[in-house]
Structure 1
Amino acid sequence: MPTRYTFGGDEHLFVECSDEMSLEAFFKSLSMANGVKESAIKGITEICPANASFQIKFDPDQIKPDDVLKEVRAIEGAAERAEPVIRTRIVEIPVFYNDPWTHETLMRFRERHQEPSGTDLDYATRINGYGDVDDFVAAHSGSPWFVSMVGFVAGLPFMYQMVERQRQIQVPKYLRPRTDTPRLTVGHGGCFGCIYSVRGAGGYQMFGITPMPIFDPTQTTSYLRDFMVFFRPGDIVKFKPIDRDAYDQAVEDVDKGRFSPPVREVSFDLREFQKDITGYNTRLEGMINGH
């Protein structure tokens, strides 16, 4: 679809690059959002990126809406000609799958679920065609995920699985949202994964929990002292399954300031990725593992 521009009141411009999520649409929206930021257009006060779109807030006393639109259209042209390469990070996130806390929570809300007789992992395993839960966990953790946006609640990443479309895990949300979700739950709804940054209501299927805080408004967590939100759009996430002992050790390390998430700076080339998705993902995994 052609890029769609919509004004919101007197102070906002919404830019929609596609009506469906894809890495191509994400790259275009991120490139445009970065281009707007780098252009430092007088009167633009805020840029909010999303999965395949972004929103601009501007001061109409400093710049007219039509002038904002003209500037952004010019940036769109430059973005379409740019190389699809970004400098970003790959991050390893430990996950305790099928943990007791999300299990207790999901059992309290079975009447809101499509299949009350099983668990969220059982349901996701069946509808995605995997033989058992272990196979499903291997698929969930076996390929990297792109962070396409951060928000909805503070610090929450939405993640898009970096595999061929036919291999992407897809699971509908609960029939009715829960009133409770444990903090740091690893969830999934539609084609998007997420990590719940805080405890609260939610409708995504719950697969496990990470011991790694991703949002800390007190900025006392050792790796969040510079900024309270860990994730950025464009980050690449690799999930690492862990057991209860490793989870407990990581929680203790976080509390004592010893935990440091494995992070590597990488250059991601969309065209090279599309030529050989499996091979490219293997190289990315090797980077985070130091190979």
Structure 2
Amino acid sequence: MSIRYTFGGDEFLFAEISESMSLPACFTGMAITERLRQQRWPGILEICPANASFQLRFDPDILPAEQLLQGLRQLEQSVQDSPPLLDTRLLEIPVWYNDPWTREVGARFRQRHQDPQSTDLEYAARINGFDSVDAFIAAHSGSPWFVSMVGFVAGLPFLYQMVERDQQLQVPKYLSPRTATPRQTIGHGGCFACIYSVEGAGGYQMFGITPAPIYDPQQSLPYLADSMVLFRPGDIVRFKPITQQQYAAAIQAVAAGSFQLDIFPVRFDLADFLANPQAYAQSLPGSRHAH
């Protein structure tokens, strides 16, 4: 793939890797922006990666535009010539699917929904061809998800399902956004899942809620000791269904400051994954299917 570069005024360069999101496009963007961070080119002021693109802010008095463009094209070539490996983490995120809070908020905003007569989960199950909500939840939690970017609001991850494209769960956003979404809601819009890091407005379909804080300026939990934001691009997520009782116990542990997440180191090989996504997903550590 060839990256399309567009200047915005004198200080910004936008790089469009692909018109549609894919893991190879996301990998390319992560690899280039990570090398830019490591190499610390004089004149680059900000680096902002996204799902299938990235944007740079630069000082043209220090780094002329043509010089920046030439350097990026060389970097692009070297990234595409190197093996697509990523040392990252797998995080197991507990989820109480079909919880009462997201159901209540969903019921309050039914007039903004495509199907006012059903819940978000019922609607998502039906349009994706599942005969029950339970079967949809099994598909949602049965495959890993790749954190393609973090942002929009502080700490919110965008998650791309690691399956063949024709198996991806896809659900449109609400017809118009809600003015409320519970904190730590598991949402879905288009092909992307997300976790709402804070309470607030939102338009993604709501499937459940996690007890695990993913953004905490106080850094009161052990797994947030190094950063108030849990996720970083390149992380792999597995959603782990839990019961109401397990959710209540986790909330108590969060309040006590003792709640822990299961986090495993992973060396992710994009080529191996693309060759057989299902087998690769089952081989990941912590998986119910791992040997």
2-side partners of 1:254 and 1:212: how far apart? Answer: 7
- Displacement after TM superposition at 1:194 (Å): 0.1
Task: Give the letter for the 1:7 counterpart.
Answer: F
Q: Name the counterpart of 1:143.
A: 143
- Displacement after TM superposition at 1:169 (Å): 0.1
Inter-CA distance 67–90: structure 2 relative to 1 (3 Å threshold): same
2-side partners of 1:80 and 1:100: how far apart? Answer: 47
Inter-CA distance 265–124: structure 2 relative to 1 (3 Å threshold): same
2-side partners of 1:140 and 1:259: how far apart? Answer: 24
Task: Give the letter for the 1:72 counterpart.
Answer: L
Structure 1 residue matching 2:147: 3-state secondary structure = strand
- Displacement after TM superposition at 1:58 (Å): 1.4
Segment drifting more, 255-264 vs 147-156: 255-264
1-side partners of 2:183 and 2:10: how far apart? Answer: 37
Structure 1 residue matching 2:61: 3-state secondary structure = coil
- Displacement after TM superposition at 1:285 (Å): 4.6
Q: Name the counterpart of 1:48.
A: 48
Q: How does 1:29-108 map to 2 (within 5 A)?
A: 29-108=29-108
Once the two structures are superposed, residues 57-115 of structure 1 have per-residue CA deviations (whole angstroms, 9 ceiling, x without a partner) of 11223211221111111100101101011111000000000000001000000000000
Structure 1 stretches of at least 4 aligned residues deviating more than 3 Å after TM superposition = 285-291
Q: Name the counterpart of 1:174.
A: 174
- Displacement after TM superposition at 1:225 (Å): 2.5
2-side partners of 1:285 and 1:165: how far apart? Answer: 23
Indicate conservation of the 8 Å contact 1:14/1:53, yes or no: yes
Indicate conservation of the 8 Å contact 1:110/1:116, yes or no: yes
Inter-CA distance 137–235: structure 2 relative to 1 (3 Å threshold): same
Indicate conservation of the 8 Å contact 1:96/1:209, yes or no: yes
Q: Name the counterpart of 2:28.
A: 28
Q: Name the counterpart of 1:14.
A: 14
Q: Name the counterpart of 1:197.
A: 197
Q: Name the counterpart of 1:256.
A: 256
Structure 2 residue matching 1:163: 3-state secondary structure = coil
Name stretches of at least 5 consecutive residues in structure 2 with no aligned partner. Answer: none
- Displacement after TM superposition at 1:290 (Å): 8.2
- Displacement after TM superposition at 1:36 (Å): 1.6
- Displacement after TM superposition at 1:198 (Å): 0.4
- Displacement after TM superposition at 1:205 (Å): 0.2
- Displacement after TM superposition at 1:37 (Å): 1.6
2-side partners of 1:90 and 1:289: how far apart? Answer: 15
Q: Name the counterpart of 2:183.
A: 183
Task: Give the letter for the 1:53 counterpart.
Answer: S
Indicate conservation of the 8 Å contact 1:88/1:267, yes or no: yes
The percent identity for this pair of structures is 58
2-side partners of 1:24 and 1:62: how far apart? Answer: 32
Alignment length (residue pairs): 291
TM-score by length of 1: 0.97
Structure 2 residue matching 1:267: 3-state secondary structure = strand
Once the two structures are superposed, residues 219-258 of structure 1 have per-residue CA deviations (whole angstroms, 9 ceiling, x without a partner) of 2233212211000000000000001110011111111111
Structure 2 residue matching 1:170: 3-state secondary structure = coil
Once the two structures are superposed, residues 241-277 of structure 1 have per-residue CA deviations (whole angstroms, 9 ceiling, x without a partner) of 0011100111111111111111111101111111221
Q: Name the counterpart of 1:207.
A: 207
- Displacement after TM superposition at 1:289 (Å): 8.8
2-side partners of 1:51 and 1:75: how far apart? Answer: 19
- Displacement after TM superposition at 1:47 (Å): 1.0
TM-score by length of 2: 0.97
- Displacement after TM superposition at 1:155 (Å): 0.2
Indicate conservation of the 8 Å contact 2:94/2:212, yes or no: yes
Structure 2 residue matching 1:70: 3-state secondary structure = helix
Indicate conservation of the 8 Å contact 2:157/2:195, yes or no: yes
Structure 1 residue matching 2:284: 3-state secondary structure = helix
1-side partners of 2:226 and 2:288: how far apart? Answer: 22
- Displacement after TM superposition at 1:174 (Å): 0.2
Indicate conservation of the 8 Å contact 1:91/1:288, yes or no: no
Indicate conservation of the 8 Å contact 2:93/2:238, yes or no: yes
